[in-house]
A and B are shown apart, each in its own frame.
Chain A
Amino acid sequence: MSETDTRAAVPAPRDDDEKPLLKVEGLVKQFPIKKGLLQRQVGAVKAVDGIDFEVRRGETLGVVGESGCGKSTMGRLITRLLEPSGGKIEFDGKDITHLSTGGMRPLRRDIQMIFQDPYGSLNPRHTIGTIVSAPFKLQGVEPEGGVKKEVQRLLELVGLSPEHYNRYPHEFSGGQRQRIGIARALALKPRMVVADEPVSALDVSIQAQVVNLMDDLQDELGLTYVIIAHDLSVVRHVSDRIAVMYLGKIVELADRDSLYAAPMHPYTKALLSAVPVPDPRRRGAKSERILLKGDVPSPIAPPSGCRFHTRCWKATQVCTTVEPPLAELKPGGRVACHHPENFEDQQPQDVVLLTAAKEAGELVPESVRKAGTPTETEVSVEAEVADEADDN
């Protein structure tokens, strides 16, 4: 991967080390489906099905996708809360793919996780002091000035009062609990924090407080974040680079600005266009809206070739048979697509649209087409549909 090309888009690396902090190659996780008396395996949920990416030091990598795309499984694999079925995970040059629990323990200081549900992730019978000091006990670390002092410092760091030390989780609101979870994750000064939907359970005003907090802590402590979220607005706000997942695969991995300005994978484009924009005046200008039909196919039997071809308006014959590789088409922009948007077609000879594509093409309502100037997509869809009509 040409890392040097994209370096500029990422905040200056805090380490002199050129190597990425986390490197993932061909990562696979399958959950077996067992049936019958003998519990024979009859199939597998391919939750994560061969993904490659790296996380650079000091950056924030955002991971987005619909529910069931495997983003949370990915988060639990790179923190080794789950055992990978295949592939390789390297943390700071060390292969951690199949380390035992004991082997992982020293690394737990460096890799921490923030969970989605601030209600489920704190033990209701433990005080805040016990919860936040647990990492010190487990790791046998005696911080300078004692555990209690350090915990109180951490509570202050995340915007809580040190007097909260002896209180129980139920005495706190959702936003405050999330701060407690963050304090616990930061206790051992980790180098990488994996946050799985850190703000999605919170109200907008509280969400903004937590987003700002995570931002400040990154600056202060030089943290590297992997933030998994389904909210594309939040991801845009916090990430340096973004990986878009669909059915266990990364379909696009790009710098934030280029991803939002010119998404290359049709799925990314559809995802972005579906986000409601808080701007009523743009309601009429919905010409770029792409409505995906139906639901995500089952990860037990994902579609052949490109997994998105069943819902894609650009899908052609080649998409059903050949799986597009995640290729670096432009600096800082990797995409797995035969017919990317905002870039030259990778399979220009293949022009016969599939049925799904034709239906998707019709989805853009007629009234909208007449209303605004047609966008690039529509033109291309129209052109391709016309091409095909000529062929027949």
Chain B
Amino acid sequence: MTELSKTGAAVGEPVRAQDAPTAFLEVRDLKVHFPTDDGLVKSVDGLSFQLEKGKTLGIVGESGSGKSVTSLAIMGLHRLGARGKNVRMSGEIWLDGKELVGADPDEVRRLRGRDMAMIFQDPLSAMHPYYKVGSQIVEAYRVHHDVSKKVARKRAIELLDRVGIPEPDKRVDGYPHEFSGGMRQRAMIAMALVNNPELLIADEPTTALDVTVQAQILDLIRDLQKEFGSAVVIITHDLGVVAEIADDILVMYGGRCVERGPVDDIFYEPQHPYTWGLLGSMPRIDRAQTDRLIPVKGQPPSLINVPSGCAFNPRCPYADVPKDNITRTERPELREVGGRHFTACHLSQEDRTRIWTEEIAPKL
């Protein structure tokens, strides 16, 4: 692992030296950079958050905002094989008192699948097409449990039944291509849950699914979380999904957190202009009003040349409100604006409140 020489402004709570955190999952100043021929891609650039057991954190943002890279970093998947040579990671990831960024890869491997598991977006490419679904679940179980194949198979059937697959004792011998999209996603959830992980990361778990199936899967994740008491990180670009399932929301933009807080705060008192933009661009199923959408103008930033100052400034309609051109020169810190609600924006509290209540909220 290469230490980053460049520190930049620390985001969020200052990183305390090696003191073990109190939260179940705590990420501190995480940076994941990829050197390429074109330059250094700063996919995640100073991200901090905490998550307690039994709670759900929703991470939202556009493609390329660093959502998935964060989840792969927590799972320790960036440092596998040849790919591991092309990534620079720094910061700390604490899972249940253990630090993962600096840990031995073998140590992380023992945790992966047992203490933390992941559900991927596309179950067809996440499952091996040549192996039976049951065998793949059995393998995931036997890696961490010293049991016979027979016992593991029983466990696989039990899990398939739990995630709502009909006739699990027959489907356990089916191949992934024999399952429909929703069934495959259920099977993958079964695989992720087979070792009762305490942390479950779901990366766009319903994006490839129809709404009716999406509703089934979200209900399933919610039920299972209640049953097992796991911490869940759900990564999505769909604000509807996080509104349904998350306790806390973290909004990412250009590899950083621009706003983080309890779900109600993010939806009813959002503080960051990008969050306003996301809410304004979203067509609403629950509103008859069909005025024009209010899109965020422009394109997401390149992660090689992240705009100086606030990464959002070229697209922000309020970039000129704060004085001295500060939005273009100085990177905003993540500051607390209310109980557990943080935002990284140069706008003053009065300006934000005024813009939100007078300009944004009436149009949503």
When chains A and B are docked, how far (Å) is the Cα of A273 from the Cα of B219? 13
Closest A residue to B287 using CB positions: A236
Closest A residue to B300 using CB positions: A203
Contact with A along B273-302 (1 / 0, CB 8 A): 000011111111110101011111101100
Which range contains the number of B residues in contact with the other chain?
Answer: 35 or more
When chains A and B are docked, how far (Å) is the Cα of A204 from the Cα of B238? 8
Please name all residues of chain A whose beta carbon is closer than 8 Å to the beta carbon of B241 when the two chains form the complex: 276
B299 in contact with A175 (CB, 8 Å): yes
Interface centre among A66, A204, A206, A292 (most CB of B within 10 A): A204
User: Contacting chain B: which of A134-142, A207-215, A370-378?
Assistant: A207-215
**A229 smallest CB distance to B (angstroms):** 10
A276 in contact with B218 (CB, 8 Å): yes
Please name all residues of chain A whose beta carbon is closer than 8 Å to the beta carbon of B267 when the two chains form the complex: 278-281
CB-contacts of A141-190 with B (<8 A)? 173-176
B215 in contact with A276 (CB, 8 Å): yes
A270 in contact with B299 (CB, 8 Å): no
Which DSSP category, helix, strand, loop or mixed, fits chain A's interface? helix
CB of A233 within 8 Å of the partner chain = yes
B295 in contact with A275 (CB, 8 Å): no
**B298 smallest CB distance to A (angstroms):** 9
The one of A175, A275, A291 in contact with B219, judged by C-beta atoms closer than 8 angstroms, is A291
Please name all residues of chain A whose beta carbon is closer than 8 Å to the beta carbon of B295 when the two chains form the complex: 205-209, 212
User: Contacting chain A: which of B153-161, B177-185, B188-196, B347-355?
Assistant: B177-185
When chains A and B are docked, how far (Å) is the Cα of A234 from the Cα of B292? 12
CB of B111 within 8 Å of the partner chain = no
B212 in contact with A204 (CB, 8 Å): no
CB of A289 within 8 Å of the partner chain = yes
A278 in contact with B212 (CB, 8 Å): no
The one of B279, B285, B293 in contact with A212, judged by C-beta atoms closer than 8 angstroms, is B293
CB of B210 within 8 Å of the partner chain = yes
Closest A residue to B236 using CB positions: A276
**B147 smallest CB distance to A (angstroms):** 32
When chains A and B are docked, how far (Å) is the Cα of A175 from the Cα of B62? 12
A66 in contact with B210 (CB, 8 Å): yes
Please name all residues of chain B whose beta carbon is closer than 8 Å to the beta carbon of A66 when the two chains form the complex: 210-213
B292 in contact with A215 (CB, 8 Å): yes
CB of A271 within 8 Å of the partner chain = yes
A232 in contact with B243 (CB, 8 Å): no
CB of B136 within 8 Å of the partner chain = no
**B226 smallest CB distance to A (angstroms):** 12
CB-contacts of A275-311 with B (<8 A)? 275-283, 289, 291-292, 294-295
Please name all residues of chain B whose beta carbon is closer than 8 Å to the beta carbon of A292 when the two chains form the complex: 212, 216
Contact with B along A209-231 (1 / 0, CB 8 A): 10110010000000000000011
Closest A residue to B284 using CB positions: A233
B210 in contact with A237 (CB, 8 Å): no
A279 in contact with B286 (CB, 8 Å): yes
Please name all residues of chain A whose beta carbon is closer than 8 Å to the beta carbon of B284 when the two chains form the complex: 233, 236-237, 278
Q: Known contacts being A205-B295, A280-B267, A282-B286, is A230 close to B240, with CB within 8 Å? A: no
Q: Known contacts being A204-B281, A207-B281, A279-B286, is A237 close to B293, with CB within 8 Å? A: yes
Please name all residues of chain B whose beta carbon is closer than 8 Å to the beta carbon of A176 when the two chains form the complex: 299
When chains A and B are docked, how far (Å) is the Cα of A295 from the Cα of B180? 8
A272 in contact with B215 (CB, 8 Å): no
When chains A and B are docked, how far (Å) is the Cα of A368 from the Cα of B286? 20
Q: Known contacts being A274-B214, A292-B212, is A237 close to B283, with CB within 8 Å? A: yes
B244 in contact with A276 (CB, 8 Å): yes
When chains A and B are docked, how far (Å) is the Cα of A280 from the Cα of B292? 23
Query: What are 20 A-B contacts with C-beta separation under 8 Å?
Result: A67-B210, A204-B62, A204-B282, A206-B62, A206-B299, A208-B280, A208-B282, A211-B293, A231-B283, A236-B284, A271-B211, A275-B285, A276-B243, A276-B244, A277-B243, A278-B267, A278-B284, A280-B243, A282-B286, A295-B180
Known: A236-B283, A277-B240. 11 other contacts (CB 8 A): A174-B63, A205-B295, A233-B282, A236-B285, A260-B288, A276-B214, A277-B244, A278-B239, A278-B284, A280-B263, A291-B219
Enumerate the 8 nearest inter-chain pairs by beta-carbon distance, A residue then B residue, closest first: A276-B240, A208-B281, A208-B295, A237-B283, A205-B296, A208-B293, A274-B215, A66-B210
